[in-house]
């Protein structure tokens, strides 16, 4: 089985990239192919090698964390590779794991292809299995997935989370994908303050997006 591939990005499509590994082009389906666009140096893509009767498919990820979470999602009844890929395209691993651990059905049902019953199965099947995964407490608190800290911090985290949700929705209406917005938010988290407004978050997120 293939665990990872290392090579040059030869081509990018909406659902996959073609990775040139010593003059052999591998088609690799990935949550956000455009994250690899423009990369000229050698990249490493962590692979899930999926074999079925009519096809052999490669699903690829930028990190081991994504690769492991993808495989865990496949253990849930009703979630196949395409749905699992959509989940990772719609939310960062930290956020997905946090939602499962906090039993946040509202967050999970916002992910592509996930209804209420599937979200409940994800919680039932994976909550204990994901207990050992490290999560970014700052990120989870800011998006409302960590325990409520408003009493101790005057609602600061909750306010920032609400402002970002509104900013994210507005940016989505401009055509940015969930994966692009998650990446922008990750860049903002270390410097987010309690005084942030929807407008300030939008402006700063756009700066992150323009950086690529």
Q: What is the pLDDT of residues 71-97, one digit of tens each?
A: 999 999 889 999 999 999 887 888 888
Domain that holds residue 32: 4-62
For residues 174 and 202, membership in a common domain is answered with yes
Residue 173's pLDDT band (cuts 50, 70, 90)? confident
**Looking at 11-25, 65-79, 137-151, 174-188, which range is the least confident one?**
137-151
Q: Is 132 domain-assigned?
A: no
Mean pLDDT for 148-167 is 54
For residues 9 and 58, membership in a common domain is answered with yes
The angle, 0 to 180 degrees and rounded to 10, between the axes of the packed helices 81-90 and 93-101 is 100
Distance between first and last Cα of the chain: 33
For residues 168 and 118, membership in a common domain is answered with no
- Average pLDDT of the chain to the nearest whole number: 81
Q: Is 131 domain-assigned?
A: no
Antiparallel, parallel or unpaired: β 4-12 and 16-21: antiparallel
Residue 196's pLDDT band (cuts 50, 70, 90)? confident
Quick check: 191 pLDDT over 60? yes
Residue 59 tokens read as 């699903």
Q: Is 193 domain-assigned?
A: yes
**Looking at 1-10, 141-150, 156-165, which range is the least confident one?**
141-150
Kindly report the pTM of this predicted structure. 0.65
Q: Which of 40, 62, 84 is the last residue of a domain?
A: 62
Domain total of the chain: 3
């Amino acid at each position: 089985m293939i665990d990872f591939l290392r090579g040059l990005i030869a081509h990018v499509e909406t659902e996959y990239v073609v990775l040139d590994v010593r003059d052999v082009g591998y088609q690799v389906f990935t949550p956000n192919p455009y994250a690899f666009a423009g990369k000229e140096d050698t990249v490493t893509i962590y692979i899930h090698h999926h074999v079925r009767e009519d096809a052999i498919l490669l699903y690829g990820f930028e990190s081991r964390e994504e690769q492991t979470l993808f495989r865990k999602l496949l253990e849930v009844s009703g979630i196949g590779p395409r749905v699992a890929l959509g989940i990772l395209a719609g939310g960062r691993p930290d956020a997905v794991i946090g939602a499962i651990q906090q039993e946040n059905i509202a967050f999970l049902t916002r992910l592509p292809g996930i209804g209420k019953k599937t979200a409940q199965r994800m919680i039932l099947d994976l909550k204990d299995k994901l207990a050992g995964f490290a999560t970014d407490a700052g990120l989870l608190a800011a998006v409302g997935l960590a325990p409520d800290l408003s009493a101790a911090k005057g609602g600061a985290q909750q306010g920032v989370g609400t402002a970002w949700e509104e900013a994210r929705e507005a940016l989505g209406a401009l055509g940015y994908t969930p994966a692009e917005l998650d990446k922008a938010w990750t860049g903002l988290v270390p410097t987010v303050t309690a005084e942030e407004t929807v407008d300030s978050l939008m402006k700063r997120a756009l700066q992150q997006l323009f950086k690529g």
